[in-house]
Amino acid sequence: MRMVSLYSIKGGVGKTASAVNLAAEAAHKGLRVLLWDLDPQAATTFYLQIKPRIRGGVEKLVKGKSSWDKVIRTTSLENLDVLPASLASREMDQLLEKRGTSHLRQMLKEVRKEYDLVVLDCPPTLSHLSENMFTSVDALLVPMVPTTLSLRTLEQLQKFLDEHDLPCPLWPFVTLADRRRSMHVEIINNLGKDWPLRLSTVIPAASVVERMGVERAPVREFAPASPACRAYESLWSELHQRLQL
């Protein structure tokens, strides 16, 4: 079982849209995928038409006292399940403070053989939850808008990982790109120089991605021929190769 996280300490970068679309692409290719919504805003949960509720509560989940078949929900997409979030998910950070490192991975021990890939959608904060996530995942996928502030945020995240001796592979990729803007083009072209582990696929700024909130589905389900869908398919191909799934 491979485990990746969509994460950024900057909001508004397409994190949740990327989590949902990448999970959907992996499931479409035949992998058994669990998408774990760790953000109390529960946007991933909303996109996939799941009720924002953790049966039995967050505390039982963290302590390993929940029955996984009750907390994990199936979706309308074949091979894709969701572990939903709710406002109560905000308690997760405090509860994980009392646990050891890599506890998020340990929590999934019972269902390890049932999934090929676990995708985490994490809130944009530096917290006990994020630090636990850093030690649990195989890679940190960081969506970034091609702007100076996004580059600065990426550098801050890498500095935090280095200072806390967290050897978590950081794989940035570009989202919300507009190639009509010279700054976007410049940053896209130069990103690989400073970030050799960056994923080369660029996700365009597209209204079809914004429509996910209306359709409540991944882009593949309502616009499979769109450039955005093709971009996410290409991004998944890169990930599939790197993760050796």
How does pLDDT run across 187-211, given as a tens digit for each residue? 999 999 999 999 999 999 999 999 9
Q: How many CB atoms lie within 10 A of CB 50?
A: 22
pLDDT band of 19, cuts 50, 70, 90: very high
**Looking at residue 237, what is its pLDDT?**
97
pTM: 0.94
Q: Which residue has the tokens 């978590």?
A: 168
Amino acid at 191: L
Buried (b) or exposed (e) across 62-100, using 16+ Cβ within 10 A? beeebebeebbbebebebbbbbbbbebbebbbebbeeee
Task: Please tell me the predicted confidence (pLDDT) of residue 216.
Answer: 97
* 54, 85 Cβ separation under 8 angstroms: yes
Q: In which band, very low, low, confident or very high, does the pLDDT at 171 lie, cut at 50, 70 and 90?
A: very high
- Is 178 a member of any domain? no
Closest CA to 197 of 173, 171, 175, 174: 171
Q: Where are the alpha helices (DSSP H) in the chain?
A: 15-28, 43-47, 58-62, 68-71, 92-96, 103-107, 128-134, 148-163, 182-194, 207-210, 212-215, 219-222, 227-243
**213: pLDDT confidence band, cut at 50, 70 and 90?**
very high
CATH number at residue 90: 3.40.50.300
Give domain status of residue 65, yes or no. Answer: yes
**68 inside domain:** yes
Q: Is residue 86 part of a domain?
A: yes
Mean pLDDT, all residues of the chain: 91
Higher pLDDT, 25 or 103: 25
Indicate whether 87 pLDDT > 80. no
Residue 243 lies in a domain: no
CA distances in angstroms from 40 to 53, 122, 160, listed in the order given: 10, 9, 23
- Tell me if 9 is assigned to some domain: yes
Alpha-carbon distances, residue 138 vs 2, 19, 174, 232 (angstroms): 7, 15, 20, 20
Between 4 and 92, name the one with better pLDDT: 4
Cβ contact 21:219 at 8 Å = yes
3-state secondary structure of 70: helix
Examine residue 161 and state whether it is found in any structural domain, yes or no. Answer: no
Distance CA 229, CA 227 (A): 5
Residue written as token pair 């093709």: 230
Instruction: Give the residue numbers spanning the domain of 73.
Output: 2-145+207-236
- Quote the number of domains for the chain: 1
Q: Which residues contact 150 (CB under 8 A, 6 or more apart)?
A: 10, 13, 144
In a domain, 168, yes or no: no
Q: What is the pLDDT of residue 226?
A: 97
Pick from 37-41, 82-86, 126-130, 172-176 the range whose average pLDDT is largest.
172-176
User: 186 near 195, Cβ under 8 Å?
Assistant: no
